[in-house]
């Protein structure tokens, strides 16, 4: 089940992130500037993703979670294919919104399922496996997408039955959408686990919103750290994924295929290694007496991300730039599996769907909506230089890292106290 959910997560990110590789040809064909592209990368997807995450989280707490995911996979796959039919900014924006609708189903339902398949002391590893999805997905999108684009570019416009004439970038959207059909069918045969970790003395039904608000208010420092502090890390992640391929093209003169292959390989290996090694770093800190290790690893990662991005901004060669990209790509996902497990451990079962949905909202409002756009705005209006995209990444990354360190650092004691009161084995 963990592997199947991971594969679904991988392809959700392939469909979500393939746009980042296709920025150049899309800008050329549709006459878009960087800010318009950032709206497609961020707000166009996030608007529906955010609006539906909490309502879907409520369904996750009361309905069959496997069916919710299967519907979502089918919907976002069709919406990704629709991106390939776009002939204008408006058409592509609407299709991206459809991708957001489908993908809003996955994280709340998958996290709830994993929390029921594994006891608290065994959750970090399956969550880290699941959270490899974004890095494998970005890697596949960059590598395979770059190769497909280079292979199709020499053929000019493609003539397909019923679809008419398609540019290579449009055909690429159809290619990455196709696996969703098979995944939808596979999910329909997965059994639903029983719900565990219910609040004492309650039946397996969703908690009221009043109870959820009271719980979060009683532990506000913990949830501010998880729902606002951690998204600062995600903001850096989405900024990298959105603009590193363009940075390599503009600043270091790489071709589209080279940029996709180089960054895709880094995202795949460094990102996966980061998310997989997070639990081991956490266990090391736990053995040294730090029961707050999920949040402590967040602070450590943020303290190192800022200097890594600052170094990237002034890298004199493509080789050094790729080294700094690899370092930051390792650090960004390092704490994320621990955070996922921490949110489940701190939250009663009847509230998990809603609070994971809230986490999805905040990470995507702060991360995906602001990450690409803040970098683009800095490039377009602060530096007023397309080749300054590396400096924009550094500026945004340093500022949000400092903010994240403050919000998460002040919650360490409160998180330890919450675990003690819950009696949760970390």
Is the pLDDT score of 137 beyond 90?
no
Percent of the chain at pLDDT > 90 equals: 33
In this predicted structure, the answer to whether residue 370 has a pLDDT above a threshold of 70 is yes
Alpha-carbon distance 20 to 244, whole Å? 9
Token pair 């879907």 is found at 56
Average of pLDDT values for 382-402?
92
Residue holding tokens 């040294």?
A: 288
Model confidence pLDDT, tens digit, residues 69-104:
999 999 999 999 999 888 889 999 999 999 999 999
Residues 3-19 have a mean pLDDT of 88
Would you say residue 199 has pLDDT above 70?
A: no
Residue 425: per-residue pLDDT: 45
Neighbours of 285 (CB within 10 A): 17
What's the pLDDT at 305? 94
**pLDDT band, residue 151 (cuts 50/70/90):** low
Q: Residue 32: its pLDDT value, please?
A: 85
User: What whole-number distance in Å separates Cα of residue 96 and Cα of residue 82?
Assistant: 9
> pLDDT by residue (tens digit) across 297-331?
999 999 999 999 999 989 999 999 999 999 999 99
pLDDT of residue 407: 95
**Does the pLDDT at position 354 exceed 90?**
no
Bigger pLDDT: 122 or 52? 52
Look at residue 340 and tell me whether its pLDDT is greater than 70: yes
Backbone angles phi, psi at 160, to 5 degrees: -120, 145
Q: Is the pLDDT of residue 157 over 70?
A: no
Residue 201 has pLDDT above 60, yes or no: no
Task: State the sign of the Cα–Cα–Cα–Cα dihedral 347, 354, 193, 101.
Answer: negative
* 333 has a pLDDT exceeding 60: yes
pLDDT band at 164 (very low <50, low <70, confident <90, very high): low
**Shortest CA distance to 5 belongs to which of 112, 102, 130, 126?**
130
- Nearest residue to 242 via CA among 46, 53, 399: 46
Domains of the chain: 2-189+205-422 (1.20.1250.20)
First to last CA, the chain: 23
Return the structure tokens found at 29.
């064909």
pLDDT score at 159: 65
Q: 246-305 pLDDT, tens per residue?
A: 899 899 988 877 887 888 888 888 988 998 898 889 889 989 989 889 999 999 999 999
**Would the pLDDT of 152 be above 70?**
no
The candidate with the shortest Cα–Cα distance to 37, out of 381, 372, 321, 277, is 372
């Amino acid at each position: 089940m963990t592997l199947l959910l991971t594969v679904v997560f991988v392809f959700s990110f392939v469909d979500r992130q393939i746009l980042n590789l296709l920025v150049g040809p899309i800008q050329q064909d549709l006459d878009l500037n960087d800010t318009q592209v950032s709206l497609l990368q961020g707000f166009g997807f996030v608007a529906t993703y955010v609006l539906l995450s909490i309502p879907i989280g409520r369904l996750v707490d009361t309905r069959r979670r496997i069916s919710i995911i299967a519907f979502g996979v089918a919907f976002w796959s069709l919406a990704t294919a629709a991106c390939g039919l776009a002939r204008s900014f408006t058409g592509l924006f609407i299709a991206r919104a459809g991708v957001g609708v489908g993908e809003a189903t996955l994280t709340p339902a998958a996290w709830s399922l994993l929390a029921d398949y594994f006891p608290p002391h065994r959750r970090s590893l399956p969550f880290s496996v699941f959270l490899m999805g974004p890095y494998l997905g970005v890697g596949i999108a960059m590598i395979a997408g770059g190769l497909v684009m280079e292979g199709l570019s020499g053929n000019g416009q493609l003539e397909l039955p019923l679809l008419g004439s398609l540019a290579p970038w449009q055909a690429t959207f159809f290619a990455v959408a196709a696996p969703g059909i098979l995944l939808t069918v596979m999910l329909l045969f997965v059994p639903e686990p029983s719900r565990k970790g219910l609040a004492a003395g309650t039946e397996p039904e969703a908690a009221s919103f009043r109870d959820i608000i009271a719980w979060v208010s009683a532990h506000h420092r913990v949830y501010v750290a998880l729902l606002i502090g951690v998204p600062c890390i995600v903001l850096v992640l989405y900024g990298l994924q959105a603009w590193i391929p363009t940075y390599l093209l503009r600043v270091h003169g790489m071709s589209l295929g080279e940029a996709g292959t180089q960054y895709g390989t880094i995202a795949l290996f460094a990102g996966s290694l980061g998310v997989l090694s997070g639990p081991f770093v956490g266990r090391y800190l736990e053995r040294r007496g730090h029961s707050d290790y999920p949040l402590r690893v967040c602070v450590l990662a943020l303290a190192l991300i800022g200097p890594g991005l600052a170094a990237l901004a002034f890298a004199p060669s493509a080789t050094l730039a790729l080294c700094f990209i690899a370092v930051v790509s390792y650090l960004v996902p390092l704490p994320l599996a621990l955070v996922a497990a921490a949110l489940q451990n701190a939250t009663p079962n009847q509230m998990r769907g809603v609070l994971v949905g809230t986490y999805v909202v905040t990470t995507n409002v702060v991360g995906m909506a602001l990450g690409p756009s803040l970098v683009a705005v800095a490039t377009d209006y602060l530096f007023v230089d397309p080749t300054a995209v590396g400096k924009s990444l550094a500026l945004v990354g340093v500022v949000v890292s400092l903010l994240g360190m403050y919000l998460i650092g002040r919650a360490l004691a409160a998180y330890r106290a919450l675990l003690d009161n819950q009696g949760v084995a970390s």
